Amino acid sequence: MLDVRISRSFRDFQLDVAFSTEGQTVVLFGPSGAGKSVTLRSIAGIVTPDAGRIEVEGRLLYDSALGVNLPPQQRRVGYVPQRYALFPHLTVAENVAFGLRGLSAEAKRARVVQMLDVMGLHELDGHRPQELSGGQQQRVALARAMAFQPDILLLDEPFGALDAGIRSELRQGLLALRQASSVTLVMVTHDLGEAFLLGEKIVVLDKGRVLQSGSREDVFYRPQSRRVAELVGIGNILRGSIRSSQGGSLELDWRQVRLRVASNLQLMPGSEVDFCIRPTQIMIRPANRDGYERENAFCGDIVEEVVGAEMHRLFIRLDRSQARYDLEIELPGYVYFRLGLDTRKRIEMSVRPEMIHVIAPAGV
């Protein structure tokens, strides 16, 4: 269990963060300058908050009211900073052994061998950090942080300096390490894909404050504010008018399109609301094709495209719209070509009611 409730004033920044978790992998997510790293360093004991409380697995690490502030070496916190902070004059094995205290020489050697095997480093035990690749250095830093069996492991942008192939490999390695250990993991990242892959719980920070905290599904698909929707890359953040609200369902008017939304919000007809749809959740087919009529269906034209290695992003202008575009759609390349969208640019779209999320206005 981790419980963090801290505040600290900086010259041009106010940190005011509160979140808790029970044995989950937590990702602190947000833009640069949001307060993610200083929160991590506060848990590690490197930064001292002005006020608040930090508790890990029933142990009080910091409490301003009680005058408790354990030094880093007494916190049982494993911390891997952005640049790993390996000791250049020590070998891989010596780096891993550095934090091991109170063990016999034999027990220390056994623990080091165990961690080198877990991280696939046993053949590099005599090398020094400057002789290793970035991915190998990262694994050494993880092995050192895990060697003394901490109650919590803190990772600050652990894959930020690595190329895409190594990042993918190490992400899977971290997932395997997490599954083999009961340690609570708290990780900082600004990478959306990484946050969704690794975070069982997402804490969205911006300008020193927690905007939303919850499961990755809640945060990524049901943002509580327009700002959170922007930060998690929701894609389509739209504005509509409530037509009716009853029985777990809303009707929205949006750009001459009527949409039904699965929602328990009770909103007044005529009120304006923000709503959002992820680009991957919009179904498409060529317009004018015979078949069943779908709910929340409308037509438009592909007016712009961004072609990626695997995915295509399409920008759609709806019928009778004067906007540059109204919607973004993302779909795999094979679907794009199977539907003939390389030559046919007019499409019919539909969205399931449960895939449209209405952001509750303040006070609702």
| Burial label, 161 (beta-carbon count in 10 A; 0-12, 13-18, 19+) | middle
Predicted local distance difference test score (pLDDT) of residue 5? 98
Predicted local distance difference test score (pLDDT) of residue 166? 67
Predicted local distance difference test score (pLDDT) of residue 85? 86
Residue 223: partners with Cβ closer than 8 Å, 6 or more residues away: 212, 229, 232, 234, 276, 357, 359
Confidence of residue 165 (pLDDT cuts 50, 70, 90): low
Q: How many CA atoms lie within 13 A of 229 on its CB side?
A: 23
Give yes or no: residues 16 and 136 share one domain.
Answer: yes
Q: What is the mean pLDDT of residues 298-327?
A: 94
Residue 52: partners with Cβ closer than 8 Å, 6 or more residues away: 4, 5, 6, 7, 62, 63, 64
Cα dist from 99 to 71, 79, 92, whole Å? 14, 11, 13
Give yes or no: residues 117 and 175 share one domain.
Answer: yes
Between 183 and 16, the higher pLDDT residue:
16
CATH of the domain at 318: 2.40.50.100
pLDDT for residue 363 is more than 60: no
- Enter the tokens of residue 326: 């109204």
Confidence of residue 14 (pLDDT cuts 50, 70, 90): very high
Percent of the chain with pLDDT over 90: 65
Number of structural domains in the chain: 2
Give yes or no: residues 201 and 54 share one domain.
Answer: yes
The number of beta carbons lying within 10 Å of the beta carbon of residue 110 is 12
Domain end residue (candidates: 230, 264, 297): 230
For residue 116, tell me if it sits in a domain. Answer: yes
Give yes or no: residues 241 and 285 share one domain.
Answer: yes
Q: Residues 256-276: pLDDT tens digits?
A: 899 999 999 999 999 999 999
Q: Residues 245-259: pLDDT tens digits?
A: 988 999 999 998 999
CATH of the domain at 17: 3.40.50.300
Mean residue pLDDT across the chain: 90
Residue 58 CA, chain-centre distance (Å), reads 26
Q: How many CA atoms lie within 13 A of 351 on its CB side?
A: 26
For residue 22, tell me if it sits in a domain. Answer: yes
Give yes or no: residues 212 and 335 share one domain.
Answer: no
**Full residue range of the structural domain in which residue 334 is found:** 236-359
Give yes or no: residues 78 and 123 share one domain.
Answer: yes
Give yes or no: residues 74 and 128 share one domain.
Answer: yes
Domain end residue (candidates: 199, 230, 261): 230
Q: What is the mean pLDDT of residues 320-339?
A: 94
- 176 phi, psi to nearest 5 deg: -65, -40
Between 169 and 358, the higher pLDDT residue:
358
Give yes or no: residues 241 and 217 share one domain.
Answer: no
For residue 54, list its beta bridge partners.
4, 62
Q: What is the mean pLDDT of residues 82-102?
A: 89
Give yes or no: residues 162 and 250 share one domain.
Answer: no
Task: Provide the Cα torsion 294, 298, 303, 304; round to 10°.
Answer: -50
Give yes or no: residues 305 and 161 share one domain.
Answer: no
pLDDT for residue 20 is more than 90: yes
Domain end residue (candidates: 211, 230, 249): 230
For residue 339, tell me if it sits in a domain. Answer: yes
Give yes or no: residues 200 and 258 share one domain.
Answer: no
- 319 phi, psi to nearest 5 deg: -55, 140
For residue 364, tell me if it sits in a domain. Answer: no
pTM: 0.88
Cα dist from 44 to 25, 166, 177, whole Å? 17, 27, 20
Between 200 and 52, the higher pLDDT residue:
52
Between 179 and 220, the higher pLDDT residue:
220
Contact 319, 288 (CB under 8 A): no
Confidence of residue 184 (pLDDT cuts 50, 70, 90): confident
Give yes or no: residues 304 and 174 share one domain.
Answer: no
Predicted local distance difference test score (pLDDT) of residue 316? 97
Confidence of residue 213 (pLDDT cuts 50, 70, 90): very high
Q: What is the mean pLDDT of residues 78-91?
A: 90
